[in-house]
């Protein structure tokens, strides 16, 4: 990992990688086997798992910055309350990621049992 990259820059790079995946798979034509979909689903599941601690770390950072008096709101509202609201929103986002993880686990499990069509002699 490049220590000069900020967390925001690293997140932007990850977003670019996901955009490249979306571009490469537009229309689903680059998936020739169910196993290809399963492999991608497994990797997307890993990506989703890695997002969970990132969200928690953002919430922790905002809480600490607010408590340390290092946040000022442009509208002069309470920065500690705003940081707490962000923390709650990030907690909710993590809960939604749990639902995504469950569904990706199902896709990964089912695609691991999928095979191509049988050939003419019934084999395959």
What does the block give as tokens for 1? 């990992």
Residue 1 has pLDDT above 80, yes or no: no
Cα separation values, 56 from 2, 26, 43, 44, Å? 22, 32, 21, 19
DSSP state of 119: -
| Tens-place pLDDT, residues 50-93 | 999 999 999 999 999 999 999 999 999 999 999 999 999 999 99
What's the pLDDT band for 3 if we cut at 50, 70, 90? confident
Residue 28 confidence (pLDDT) = 84
End-to-end, the C-alpha distance of the chain in Å comes to: 43
Residue 124 has pLDDT above 70, yes or no: no
Q: How far apart are CA 14 and CA 20, in angstroms?
A: 10
Rounded to two decimals, what is the model's pTM?
A: 0.85
């Amino acid at each position: 990992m490049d220590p000069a990259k900020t967390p925001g820059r690293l997140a932007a790079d990850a977003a670019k990688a996901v955009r490249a995946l979306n571009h490469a798979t537009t229309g689903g034509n680059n998936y020739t086997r169910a196993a290809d979909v399963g492999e991608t689903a497994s990797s997307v599941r890993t990506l989703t798992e890695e997002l969970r601690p990132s969200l928690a770390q953002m919430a922790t950072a905002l809480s600490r910055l607010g408590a340390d008096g290092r946040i000022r709101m442009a509208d002069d509202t309470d920065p500690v309350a705003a940081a707490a609201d962000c923390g709650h929103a990030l907690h909710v986002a993590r809960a939604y990621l749990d639902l995504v993880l469950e569904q990706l686990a199902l896709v990964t499990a089912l695609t691991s049992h999928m095979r191509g069509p049988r050939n003419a002699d019934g084999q395959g």
